[in-house]
Structure 1
Amino acid sequence: MKDSKIIIKKVKKTGEGERHGGSWKVAYADFVTAMMAFFLLLWLVTMVSPEKRARIATYFKEFSIFEKGGTSFMDKSSEMFNEPGETSDKAFSDNYGTFGDNGITPEALQQAIKEAVETLLGDIKDQILVRIVKEGVKIEIIDKNGSSMFPSGSAELTPKAGEILKVLADNINNINNKLFIEGHTDSYSYSSNSNYSNWELSADRANAARRDLERLGIAPARIVRVVGYADKSPLFTDSPRDPRNRRISIVILFPDKKKAGKKQVASIQYP
């Protein structure tokens, strides 16, 4: 017993291992939460209509923390989300101009329709062409293989065509401009009846589009021409049988300001 030695072992606990062992998990959890919130925000943005996005963009464009400190974002929610008392005119006024005969420009309307198509019809946006022509803004709803607006040889709208017309009607209901509606076919003959040619088919399809637009709220008085062109005005002249030549065209008319100005000057009477 006299030769035995007592050994005392001192262990110093610093706690470094414990801190490094779990801290990364907290940081990673914060990162994942932030990414989830970010992608949720992107998803919500794509689901919001162009009118509401325009309101939100306008709000933040004019926002100043020094002028509006202490106020809530929700105070403006009724204005941004089109509750009673607000109109779609205000939604686009800052970004696209004012809708109406004398306010909106063809370029602004073209941009608004393109944005709506991109947002709401992304899977078939390549079948909708929006361009500016001499008369105003022309919207072409075209066929492609496997995705048609009408069954072969028929003037009955497919559900897909109805979906497209609904989006377009929602975006042109807020203006008063007159409309042309045109029907076009390719050069194939779809009927064995010699009394029912592509002339009749294209006109019937244009009228089917007219009836659906009126059902969706377009005032009948705004539609001033409904015509079928058969295969005489192809979109692709070098390929008359191309399915993309089968289409419905909606022309939103804009008055020629130069001609209108000349008429106004000519009508002035001097004493």
Structure 2
Amino acid sequence: MADKSKIVIIKKIKKGHGGHHGGAWKVAYADFVTAMMAFFLLLWLLTMTSSEKRAVLAQYFKNFSIFQEAGKSFMKESSQILQSPSGDLKTSSRDPGMGTELTAEDLKEKLKRAIEEKLRDLKDQALVDIFEGGVRIQLVDSDGKSMFLPGSAELSPSAKALLKLVSENIKDMLNRIAVEGHTDAAPLMNGQITNWELSTARASSARRELESNSIDTNRIARVVGYADTELLIKENPRDPRNRRISIILLQPPHKEPAGTFPVRQEVTPAIRPAEREPAPSATPDGLQSGRNQGEGRIQLRPELDIRPQKPIQP
């Protein structure tokens, strides 16, 4: 009877699935899908963009950098045009991105190439070299070809052509110019003038020709004649090459680095507001407003006396 009264407990263990892991995977999956959508959208935009726009975009990202050494800064690549208080415009001639400087060697080669290309027949009469930090262009005579008519300061057609070509290549530069005249040691036949007067007159003729070809008059630093004191061919004082004109682009002192030649930039002048004309003064000619001496005062000229006079006795 005792065995029949014992209670038997049966424990059932249910085997189920693992616990819930939350929705974190959904966030990661959404980020992945968004990134893929942005990627394919970018590919579509690139296929719809022209090659010119793609080049501009590539250049933009290429130049951008937080480091000073990498690429070029935006400010240096921009036009550095500043307006002074007076309204005048100035340009920076030291901007390397604008190509506003030439070395003396570069300018010499530029002039040589221009003469070689345009005036090949006269290349032997145009000597270009570096002289005292500047660039010197010498127009020399040769056998049968003269820069001036014999015994006069009148330029020959060959000299005018060379001076025009030189002017075209130096007119946009800022350096001042020296014009020198030289002769050979042969005395003049007429005897009325000497080589001193002739060399000076020829230098002045060359100056006038430069100015007629758009060279600014203010750039001319000096015009001088040396007669036969500075011969090009010292071994033969009567060599025709001693008769020459020297055009020297001077190096500006203490402004630009040695051996550099700044170039003038084309700048569109800003439109200034119309300046208001000063209102006519209501003060009589003999009176002057005394603003500097205090408000409400009138300063009298010493020669005027407006005090009441004593009545004249009959």
TM-score by length of 2: 0.50
User: Counterpart of 1:140?
Assistant: 138
Separation (CA, whole Å) in 2 of partners of 1:153 and 1:209: 15
Residues 68-87 of structure 1 mapped to structure 2, 5 A cutoff: none
Measured after TM superposition, the shift of residue 134 of structure 1 is 1.1
Residues 168-183 of structure 1 mapped to structure 2, 5 A cutoff: 168-183=166-181
Structure in which a larger fraction of residues adopt strand: 2
Measured after TM superposition, the shift of residue 259 of structure 1 is 9.6
Which AA in structure 1 matches 2:115?
A: V
Which residue of 125, 128, 132 maps to 1:127? 125
Please say if residues 176 and 252 of structure 2, whose CA atoms lie closer than 8 Å, have aligned partners that are also in contact.
no
Which residue of 218, 221, 225 maps to 1:224? 221
Please say if residues 135 and 252 of structure 1, whose CA atoms lie closer than 8 Å, have aligned partners that are also in contact.
no
Which AA in structure 1 matches 2:102?
A: I
1:203 aligns with 2:204: no
Separation (CA, whole Å) in 1 of partners of 2:175 and 2:256: 17
Measured after TM superposition, the shift of residue 98 of structure 1 is 2.9
Which AA in structure 2 matches 1:255?
A: P
Query: % of aligned pairs identical?
Result: 46
User: Counterpart of 1:98?
Assistant: 99
Please say if residues 135 and 251 of structure 1, whose CA atoms lie closer than 8 Å, have aligned partners that are also in contact.
no
Separation (CA, whole Å) in 2 of partners of 1:128 and 1:241: 19
Larger radius of gyration: 2
Please say if residues 180 and 224 of structure 2, whose CA atoms lie closer than 8 Å, have aligned partners that are also in contact.
yes
Please say if residues 152 and 190 of structure 1, whose CA atoms lie closer than 8 Å, have aligned partners that are also in contact.
no
Please say if residues 183 and 227 of structure 1, whose CA atoms lie closer than 8 Å, have aligned partners that are also in contact.
yes
Which AA in structure 1 matches 2:131?
A: V
1:110 aligns with 2:108: yes
Runs of 4 or more, structure 1, over 3 Å off, are 256-261
Measured after TM superposition, the shift of residue 148 of structure 1 is 0.3
Separation (CA, whole Å) in 1 of partners of 2:99 and 2:128: 19
1:251 aligns with 2:248: yes
Structure in which a larger fraction of residues adopt helix: 1
SS where residue 104 of structure 1 aligns?
Answer: strand
Structure 1: segments with no counterpart, 5+ residues = 1-66, 72-92, 262-271
SS where residue 147 of structure 1 aligns?
Answer: coil
Please say if residues 184 and 245 of structure 1, whose CA atoms lie closer than 8 Å, have aligned partners that are also in contact.
yes
Please say if residues 104 and 133 of structure 2, whose CA atoms lie closer than 8 Å, have aligned partners that are also in contact.
no
Which AA in structure 1 matches 2:99?
A: T
Separation (CA, whole Å) in 1 of partners of 2:173 and 2:136: 15
Which AA in structure 2 matches 1:242?
A: D
Separation (CA, whole Å) in 1 of partners of 2:221 and 2:154: 22
User: Counterpart of 2:159?
Assistant: 161
Separation (CA, whole Å) in 1 of partners of 2:255 and 2:206: 32
Which AA in structure 2 matches 1:148?
A: S
Please say if residues 184 and 233 of structure 1, whose CA atoms lie closer than 8 Å, have aligned partners that are also in contact.
yes
SS where residue 109 of structure 1 aligns?
Answer: helix
Separation (CA, whole Å) in 2 of partners of 1:258 and 1:210: 25
Measured after TM superposition, the shift of residue 158 of structure 1 is 0.6
SS where residue 102 of structure 2 aligns?
Answer: coil
SS where residue 117 of structure 2 aligns?
Answer: helix
Instruction: Kindly report the root-mean-square deviation, in angstroms, between the aligned alpha carbons of the 2 structures.
Output: 2.8
Which residue of 206, 211, 216 maps to 1:214? 211
